[in-house]
Structure formats: structure tokens, C-alpha cells
Chains A and B, each alone.
Chain A
């Protein structure tokens, strides 16, 4: 069975600082990996996804993520955080022929000015 762990429940960074949100997955084969963001009162918006190929994937809003098979990780990064990035971030995995996404518990990002 597939699973996702986001070890950081809450992270606070200053505006302009760099950001890294951690995600570890468990799946027997190469997974399909996603990062979603949820702003207050909004639905889940896809930031980026990894299926195969280049292990560094670029997403929207200046985010990127790196797939590291040896560490079973798919960490999300942004070099300079903006106040509007404050939201909840979810890592998700989908494996094999399953249609469902399995989400992590999320990391709430707070940005201080």
C-alpha cells in the first residue's frame, strides 16, 4: 500500500527566505508524486508532479521539487518565499493503476514579514 509522510506539521519562514518542505513516500515501484497547495477557503491546487525522467521538476509559482529514489523523498523547495505563499501544502502519491491519490497530513506554512 502506498503512503506519504510529511514530518513537519507547521513551518514559519520570513518573507524572502528559502523554503523546503519535506515529503517521504512509501511505494514498491516508481510512484507518481504530486504537491498540492490549499489556501484558506480554497480547493487543492496542483503545484507540480513527477512521473518519470528528470528528477528535478518545476512547478507553478516558482516552486520546484526533487525526486530522490534512494531516500524515498520528494521535497518541495522555493528559493524566496512570498507572503502569499502562506497556505497548507500537501504531498501526494499515486501508484500503479490505482486511481486514488494518497495524501500526507500536510504542512502549514506561515510567512512572517
Chain B
């Protein structure tokens, strides 16, 4: 089965530093997502991205966050100035996005990047 790849698997950073989390979605997929899971809490939606723009975002996804598809294969999440509460496992996902629809599609998740903010 095709896979979503995330790098790095673990990242440690100092509070206030910028971090970029990287993802390589499945090659023919058109919809991309970031989710996060704070330790002991539920998996939370951050943002979805389609056709080179944000399709939907949650209230968590404030001005400190941004997403980008810098080339034909990568999808990145940038946190501009990290806070302690940004420590979490961040999951990237992708789906086919046939005709721009996602509601009945399977999301393929990566194995996550564990971000620790000190």
C-alpha cells in the first residue's frame, strides 16, 4: 500500500524557534492535511490544503502556523515561534481528492513527527 512519509520522526526545539515539519504525500493525491495529537488527548484537525490553498482550518491553526507545497512532492507545516503547548505528535495525511471531494475518501496518514518544545 502507498505511504505518506514524514520527516523527521522526532524534533526537539527551543521555545520561540521556528520549526518546519515535512511530509511527502502519496504521489497522485490532491488533498493534504495536518493533524496533531497532544499526549493523552485526541487527534485534532489543523488544516486541509487543496489546489495550492487552504481548504479548511481549525481554530488551532492561528497566525503562527502556515502550510506550503514548495514543490511537486513535499507538503510542509511551519510553526513560526514555537510555544511549550505546541509539543505534540503531528500527523500529515493525504487523500485522492477526486473532483475536489473528500467526504467519502480514505485518508492515508503518515507515522508522525513528535515535536518537543523545551
Interface of A is mostly: loop
Which residues of the partner chain A approach B109 to less than 8 Å between Cβ atoms? 36, 43-45
B42 within 8 A of A: yes
Chain B positions 81 through 118: 1 when the CB is less than 8 Å from some CB of chain A, otherwise 0 = 00000000001010000000111101111111000000
Q: Which of A41, A101, A102 contacts B107 (CB 8 A)?
A: A101
Number of interface residues, chain B, beta carbon within 8 A: 27
Q: A100 near B42 (CB under 8 angstroms)?
A: no
B75 within 8 A of A: no
Which of B13-21, B43-51, B63-71 has 4 or more CB atoms under 8 Å from chain A? B43-51
Instruction: Closest A residue to B45 by CB, please name it.
Output: A100
Which of A11-19, A65-73, A79-87, A91-99 has 4 or more CB atoms under 8 Å from chain B? A91-99
Instruction: Closest A residue to B93 by CB, please name it.
Output: A44
B55 within 8 A of A: yes
A32 within 8 A of B: yes
Q: List 13 A-B contacts (CB under 8 A).
A: A43-B4, A43-B109, A94-B102, A97-B103, A98-B56, A98-B103, A99-B48, A99-B55, A100-B33, A100-B48, A100-B58, A105-B41, A106-B42
- Extra inter-chain contacts (11) besides given A46-B106, A99-B33, A106-B42, CB under 8 Å: A45-B109, A46-B108, A49-B106, A92-B43, A99-B55, A100-B56, A100-B58, A102-B45, A103-B35, A103-B44, A105-B41
